[in-house]
Amino acid sequence: MIEVGFVLLLAMMVFVAMMVFAAFLVLRSIKNFAINAVMGLVILFLANAVAGLGIGYSWLTILICGIGGILGAVLVIILHLMGLGF
């Protein structure tokens, strides 16, 4: 017969492994979001500096750049040029 302590130990080991894996996925997602946000904001900064667009850096702009990266920055620039925001 299998002891209850052994089953609990095995269950705890599986739980800890799942938590470590989940933490790894969260940290990897945060890293990708930060890289996308920085790249998008660099594109926005260069567009503001070169073309004088005057796009502000709000939380919404950072969120769009973080999710979309360079394409998000291009979307913000296009929306600004069309007069739809930012």
pLDDT digit string, tens, across residues 64-75: 988 999 999 999
Q: Residue 40: exposed, middle, or buried by beta-carbon count in 10 A (0-12, 13-18, 19+)?
A: buried
Would you tell me the crossing angle of helices 59-68 and 4-51 to the nearest 10 degrees? 110
What mean pLDDT do residues 30-41 have?
A: 92
| Region label for 9, one of left (φ > 0), alpha (ψ between -120 and 50) or beta (otherwise) | alpha
What mean pLDDT do residues 22-48 have?
A: 93
**How much is the pLDDT for 42?**
94
Task: Indicate the pTM of the whole model.
Answer: 0.71
**How much is the pLDDT for 1?**
63
